[in-house]
Amino acid sequence: MDYYELLRIDSTATFGEIHRAYRSLAMQYHPDRNATPEAASIMSSINEAYSVLGEPSRRRLYDQQHRATQPFDVAGSILRAAYDTLLKQGWIVTENDEAHMILEHSRRAVRVSYIKRLDNALLKQIGKQFAGFSVVLAVEIELPINFSFNVAIIDLVHSRYYGPPFPDEMYRALFAPFMSP
């Protein structure tokens, strides 16, 4: 069982992101709130995942074992290349936790999220995390996706852009390497 997938988070998630994902899923699957027969079993799995990923030493051990049993991570390589490409664009990195970063240039700011697999729940969560312009660089997008959130999405595999228009040409130029002409 992949605990990251179970909590619907990326393997680079911070403790705060792990905790928020756990709370959100607990609200959805706790047997006191969800009368379906499988709710208790799902909640038990969610608790197990949180107990491992929420404790740093247990998470390190899990990550080591998990990496040893996983096939080559193509998505991670694609996201790393996208990250490196953005760093070369001349914008200043003001925040960076590997899964998300904020880039600034003059009076412009954009929050960039690197996501292996994007679904509506994660998109909604990302939309609440930054008041300004946000862009998700995703390797896989679970369809149908709700493009009405005020977050732009770039499908790195298909070089497609979805969401609101860029605020100006400087933003478009920043993300041009990831989109088809």
Return the percent helix, strand and coil in the chain, to nearest 5: 45, 20, 35
Give me the count of residues in the chain. Answer: 181
Half-sphere CA count of 140, side-chain side, radius 13 A: 8
Model confidence pLDDT, tens digit, residues 26-71? 999 899 988 888 888 899 999 999 999 999 999 999 988 877 665 5
Confidence (pLDDT) at 148: 66
Are the CB atoms for 135 and 151 separated by under 8 Å? yes
Q: Sketch out the chain's domains with CATH numbers.
A: 3-69 (1.10.287.110), 74-178 (3.40.1350)
Q: Report pLDDT for 68.
A: 66
User: What share of the chain has pLDDT > 90, as a percent?
Assistant: 57
CA dihedral 120, 121, 125, 126 (to 10 degrees): -40
pLDDT at 141 exceeding the cut of 80 = yes
Looking at per-residue pLDDT, the higher value among 148 and 29 belongs to 29
Q: Where does the chain show beta strands of DSSP type E?
A: 92-96, 100-105, 108-118, 133-141, 152-155, 160-162
Burial of 8 (0-12, 13-18, 19+ CB in 10 A): middle
Amino acid of residue 32: D
Q: pLDDT digit string (tens) for 98-126? A: 789 999 999 999 999 999 999 888 888 88
